[in-house]
Chain A
């Protein structure tokens, strides 16, 4: 089954942009993933589904500042014009053969 690898932490300044990475394991580079945001003390929130082509579909109400892209086995989440409320944990997710997998999450700090 696939494994998703994420950096444990990232930081960027208020108003700047940040690009978070989720890497699929060998043999799974074509897999579709989803990105989720979890603000402190809250439930996760679905952000988008991202294909290997780079095409993505965002969830309802997700700001335009959030976008996705892909390159090989890497799936990216880019957040532009960072706001304080973007400080959160970001998880990627994929699915295969009746199992689902989450990455370890990236804690984003907005400076």
Chain B
């Protein structure tokens, strides 16, 4: 059974940093396309970043230059390093796996709150 478990969220001051983790089981992260999607309180889903099985990475314009997606094959874990945090980055961050183009498996999410 595919399972994705995020961690690393919390309260951080503007300008601060966090590293989100997504531990996967039931499949191999490095063999799949993986993505991060966020949802601000009361708002819709917003795509954040993707890493392809070959290692190429892409980002939404709103986070480019501040966020970095990566993975650790030995830990079968996906990461999102988020720097220079702003109030508008406050959201639940979901990791997900992609199959046949579509986002198919979702984690339960981890909440990031940016506030002084």
Contact = CB atoms under 8 A, between A and B. Distances in A.
Interface string A93-107: 101001111111100
A70 B58 CA distance: 29
A45 interface: yes
Interface residues of B, number: 21
Interface string B79-116: 00000000000000010000011111111110000000
A93 B50 contact: no
Given A34-B103, A100-B35, 17 more contacts: A34-B101, A34-B102, A36-B45, A43-B106, A44-B45, A44-B106, A49-B102, A57-B100, A91-B44, A91-B45, A93-B45, A95-B101, A98-B56, A100-B47, A102-B44, A102-B47, A105-B45
| Residue among B46, B56, B94, B106 having the largest count of chain A Cβ atoms under 10 Å | B106
A54 B90 CA distance: 37
Contacts of A89: 44
Contact of B60 (A59, A91, A99): A99
Contacts of A59: 104
Contact of A43 (B94, B100, B101): B94
A53 to B, nearest CB: 15
20 contacts: A32-B102, A34-B101, A34-B103, A43-B94, A44-B37, A44-B106, A45-B106, A46-B103, A46-B106, A49-B100, A57-B100, A91-B44, A91-B45, A93-B102, A95-B102, A98-B50, A102-B44, A102-B46, A102-B47, A105-B44
